[in-house]
Amino acid sequence: MAQDEQRMTIGWVGVGRMGFALAQRLLDAGHDVSVYNRTRSKAEPLTAHGAKIVDRPVELADRDVVFVMVSASDDLEDVTIGPDGLLTASVTPQVIVDTSTVSATVSGKIRRAADDRGSAFLAAPVSGSPKVVASGKLSFVVSGPRDTFDRVEPLFAELGRAATYVGDDEVARIVKICHNVFLGVVTQSMAEITVLAEKAGVDRAAFLAFLNDSVMGSTFSRYKSPAFVNLDFTPSFTPVLLRKDFDLGLASARELGVSMPVAALAAELVTIAINTGHSAEDFATLLLEQARRSGLEMTPEDVEVDDGLGTTSDG
């Protein structure tokens, strides 16, 4: 651990499924971490790992670096410039790192507020899930002042495997939105071909094993294969959150004059999945909706499937 990094005090805002796993990773690495979560009880288990829990975001204002991971743009505004926000005290964090997936407009608003108060701001949305965090394979895309990125990079390295610096200001936001739009489109396409193979008489496990070993296989297709084979839709990312990102991506496309017909259709199919009751499950339930539209009733295959992260699922 570098000496400058070791001296940093860290704050963490937002400990949902992802935020909890990431804050725990910093605590287990020996860092001094104080945590705020809107529902305090969800943060309390982190005290067993050495965390200090605070009741308001402003109580983290004296931390060197504060990470934020919240669900939406309004939440980011609330915890930074809202009542008792990070930027409302006489002192402010040296660096605020927002790892949420929010709009570039709101991100820019918070960046300007941070600049006015003397805090540096990094947009650093993530790609991964709690299971990916546990495997050490989380990745960040980061934009903001390059010297600030260089200072925080050792912490990114402890949180995951890669942090890609893409430029100034809010460009990391559009990179992450493009990533999540692709996530939805690929999952819908994967659902369609899996249903086609199964309706033709091929076991899902066999089909996906072939796909994953072919040139079309990917880290993502391997990661989602256990859910597709065993129909375990424990949420890592819900259709509601995915629809939010489609909305952000399609809004950017309209603003920039980019035609995205495939993405627009996939967004409609995500909305259908939500409206048919799949709002709280993992977005891999797009598979079930594709099967329903195709007249196929799916059942779990209950076989071990490698997720590409060093673990297996047997349903």
**CATH of residue 185:** 1.10.1040.10
Per-residue pLDDT in tens (0 to 9) along the chain, 315 residues? 444 445 799 999 999 989 999 999 999 999 999 999 999 999 999 999 999 999 999 999 999 999 999 989 999 999 999 999 999 999 999 999 999 988 899 999 999 999 999 999 999 999 988 888 988 889 999 999 999 999 999 999 999 998 999 999 999 999 999 999 999 999 999 999 999 999 999 999 999 999 999 999 999 999 999 999 999 999 989 999 999 999 999 999 999 999 999 999 999 999 999 999 999 999 999 999 999 999 999 999 999 998 988 755 444
Same structural domain for residues 143 and 288? no
Which of 86, 76, 89 is closest to 120 using CA atoms? 86
| Domain end among 169, 193, 228 | 169
Given this model, what pLDDT does residue 81 score?
97
Same structural domain for residues 146 and 231? no
Same structural domain for residues 261 and 164? no
| Domain end among 120, 148, 169 | 169
- Strands 139-143 and 65-68 come out as unpaired
Quote the number of domains for the chain.
2
| Domain end among 153, 169, 185 | 169
Same structural domain for residues 29 and 162? yes
Same structural domain for residues 124 and 184? no
Given this model, what pLDDT does residue 5 score?
46
Same structural domain for residues 185 and 289? yes
With H, G, I as helix, E, B as strand and everything else as coil, classify residue 260.
Answer: coil
Same structural domain for residues 103 and 15? yes
Given this model, what pLDDT does residue 128 score?
87
Given this model, what pLDDT does residue 7 score?
72
Q: How many helices (H) and strands (E) does the chain have?
A: 13, 11
Given this model, what pLDDT does residue 315 score?
41
What the block records as the tokens of 277 is 């009751």
Same structural domain for residues 131 and 148? yes
Same structural domain for residues 202 and 65? no
Same structural domain for residues 155 and 221? no
Q: 23 with 46: CB under 8 angstroms?
A: yes
Distance CA 122, CA 172 (A): 9
Helix (H) or strand (E) holding 12: strand 10-13
Same structural domain for residues 178 and 159? no
Q: Provide the domain limits for residue 265.
A: 174-313
Same structural domain for residues 239 and 296? yes
* CATH for 73: 3.40.50.720
